[in-house]
């Protein structure tokens, strides 16, 4: 039976590679370079649209734990991320272009994967289909997904942060430090005093926003809240959010600043930095005007402005099983953000699970139970069993893990114990996967 993976994003590439690893031939369909979504800019696979950060590497965090689980399972995409990492303290951030190049080369060099550039508008009946078209699925294919999913569609809005050139940053207004001096000094910190911050805040909340079709404030995903929307909740909201100065001391004053914008490297050449937490849908001229009020950015050159886009996902609890297959059509799988997982690494995880599920189906083997003791398994369980009426995309978090067999009151120790149990469980599972 032919295997078709539709979409060469993070989930689609991971899925195709996992299937190909096990000797099956895969047709990987990708509409680029024939057509790009409004948020994509190059012809490479696995293009990162929003941040270049895959979050913390610390297994005491859910983001770090899921990445370590995926490493144990042999994730190709996480391997590429590790190989193209840029300094980011305790986080795994990547050089976007090098990362996408690495994934693209890995896919194209695999003898079992045939890349087909095509704008799909239908699935391949009688064959295996993995739909990994992402939250920006092309209109030509949305109608087919609507048919398959009985119009069980939902959506939210996502935003990306701007990027500036290193040479245009006023380094006299910057200090280099990691928060609480943890890890290496990989962030450029742009401090503001109270007067500067209040002037900035006033202009931010009154700035002109770009028109986004069908935009609704209550449909913004909390993890990607535009900074101007956040600021309108009160003057201190962003000071306790993306501009929080906690754990940072300005060596010029010996004191904690009133507010701090952090800049993180975009590439290994140290030529570009992104504004951490500054997702936005201000108009481009307003982004330049308002963000340039931050002293370190007064002469900033923006190589990419922040953008906002609509993300579509299916109502997975009413449609999918924990193997990411449609309950009423076991030849159709979904993977990536369209399946209801949220985040880069979570998308990779869904692609890996879907790929292994396809292989087991074709080999006549029982499906793998990743269990609720792992983040990967808990996400698969969440998208297939949450309350469909109130379903929302989900990031990796400790709350979805099965609890400990005893009560541990120390939160840090509890997370460490959950992480250790999760990794041992995943090692046991991985030892049985071929």
Q: Residue 426 sits in a domain of what CATH number? A: 3.50.50.60
Q: Which domain holds residue 266?
A: 163-306
Residues 285 and 301 in one domain: yes
pLDDT of residue 215: 47
Note whether 17 and 153 are same-domain residues.
yes
Kindly state whether residues 268 and 342 are assigned to the same domain: no
Nearest Cα neighbor of 79 from 33, 46, 112, 43 is: 46
Q: What is the pLDDT of residue 275?
A: 94
Predicted local distance difference test score (pLDDT) of residue 216: 47
Look at residue 29 in the predicted model and tell me its pLDDT.
97
Q: Based on the domain organization, do 343 and 395 belong to the same domain?
A: yes
| Same domain assignment for residues 104 and 171 | no
> Do residue 228 and residue 269 come from a single domain?
yes
| 239 and 270 within one domain | yes
What per-residue confidence (pLDDT) applies to 224?
67
Mean pLDDT per 10-residue interval, the chain, length 434 residues: 95 98 97 79 85 90 96 98 91 93 97 96 96 87 90 72 90 88 78 97 94 53 77 93 93 94 82 89 93 96 80 88 96 94 94 98 95 95 80 82 86 92 97 86
Instruction: State residue 17's pLDDT score.
Output: 98
Which residues contact residue 127 at a Cβ distance below 8 angstroms, ignoring those fewer than 6 apart? 1, 2, 3, 4, 331
For residue 333, give every residue at least 6 positions away whose Cβ sits within 8 Å of its Cβ, in sequence order, or none.
128, 129, 130, 131, 323, 324, 325, 326, 354, 357, 358
Q: Of 306, 338, 354, which residue is a domain's last?
A: 306
Q: Are residues 172 and 154 in the same domain?
A: no
The DSSP secondary-structure symbol of 394 reads B
Distance from C-alpha of 265 to C-alpha of 282, rounded to nearest angstrom: 23
**Shared domain check, 187 and 231:** yes
Q: Long-range contacts made by residues 218-222, C-beta under 8 angstroms, separation at least 24?
A: 219/155, 219/156, 219/157, 220/156, 220/157, 220/159, 221/156, 221/157, 221/158, 221/311, 221/342, 221/393
Q: How far apart are CA 434 and CA 422, in angstroms?
A: 20
Domain count, the chain: 2
Assess whether 60 and 94 both reside in one domain.
Answer: yes
- Measured between alpha carbons, how far is 232 from 391 in angstroms, rounded to an integer? 26
Shared-domain flag, residues 218 and 260: yes
pLDDT at 135: 77
Is the CB of residue 309 less than 8 Å from the CB of residue 39? yes
Q: What's the CATH number where 194 sits?
A: 2.40.30
> Quick one: 207 and 130 in the same domain?
no
Give the count of alpha carbons within 13 A of 255, CB side only.
6
Phi, psi values for residue 337, rounded to 5°: -65, -25
Locate 45 and state its tokens: 């696979």
Maximum Cα interatomic distance, the chain, rounded to a whole number of Å: 69
CA distance 82 to 224: 24
- From 306, 323, 338, the end of a domain falls on 306
- The residue out of 278, 306, 334 marking a domain boundary is 306
């Amino acid at each position: 039976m032919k295997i078709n993976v539709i979409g060469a994003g993070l989930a689609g590439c991971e899925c195709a590679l996992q299937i190909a690893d096990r000797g099956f031939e895969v047709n990987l369909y990708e509409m680029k370079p024939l057509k790009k979504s409004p948020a994509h800019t190059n012809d490479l696979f696995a293009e990162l649209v929003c941040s270049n950060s895959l979050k913390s590497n610390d297994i005491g965090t859910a983001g770090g734990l899921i990445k370590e689980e995926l490493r144990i399972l042999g994730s190709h995409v996480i391997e590429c991320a590790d190989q193209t990492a840029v300094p980011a303290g305790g986080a795994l951030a990547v050089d976007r272009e090098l990362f996408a190049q690495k994934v693209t080369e890995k896919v194209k060099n695999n003898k079992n994967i045939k890349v087909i550039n095509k704008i799909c508008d239908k699935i391949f009946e009688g064959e295996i289909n993995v739909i990994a078209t992402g939250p920006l699925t092309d209109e030509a294919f949305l109608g087919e997904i609507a048919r398959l999913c009985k119009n069980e569609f939902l959506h939210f809005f996502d935003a990306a942060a701007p990027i500036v050139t290193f040479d245009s940053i006023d380094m006299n207004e910057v200090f280099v430090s990691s928060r609480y001096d943890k890890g290496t000094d990989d962030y450029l910190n742009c401090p503001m005093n109270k007067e500067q911050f209040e002037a900035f805040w006033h202009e931010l909340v009154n700035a002109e926003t770009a028109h986004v079709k069908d935009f609704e404030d209550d449909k913004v995903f909390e993890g990607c809240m535009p900074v101007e929307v956040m600021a309108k909740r009160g003057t201190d909201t962003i000071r306790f959010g993306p501009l929080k100065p906690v754990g940072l001391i300005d060596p010029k004053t010996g004191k904690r600043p009133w507010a701090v914008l952090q800049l993180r490297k975009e590439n290994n050449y140290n030529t570009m930095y992104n504004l951490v937490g500054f997702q936005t849908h201000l108009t481009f001229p307003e982004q330049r005007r308002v963000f340039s009020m931050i002293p370190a950015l007064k002469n900033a050159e923006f190589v990419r402005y922040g953008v906002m886009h609509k993300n579509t996902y299916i109502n997975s609890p009413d449609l999918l099983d924990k193997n990411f297959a449609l309950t009423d059509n076991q030849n159709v799988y979904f993977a990536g953000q369209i399946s209801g997982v949220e985040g880069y690494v979570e998308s990779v995880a869904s692609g890996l699970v879907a790929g292994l599920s396809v292989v087991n189906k074709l080999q006549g083997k029982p499906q793998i139970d990743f269990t609720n003791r792992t983040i990967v398994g808990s996400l698969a369980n969440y998208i297939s069993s949450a309350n469909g009426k109130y379903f929302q995309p989900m990031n990796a978090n400790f709350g979805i893990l099965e609890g400990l067999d005893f009560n541990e009151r120390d939160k840090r120790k509890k997370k460490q114990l959950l992480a250790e149990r999760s990794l041992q469980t995943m090692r046991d599972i991985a030892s049985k996967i071929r």
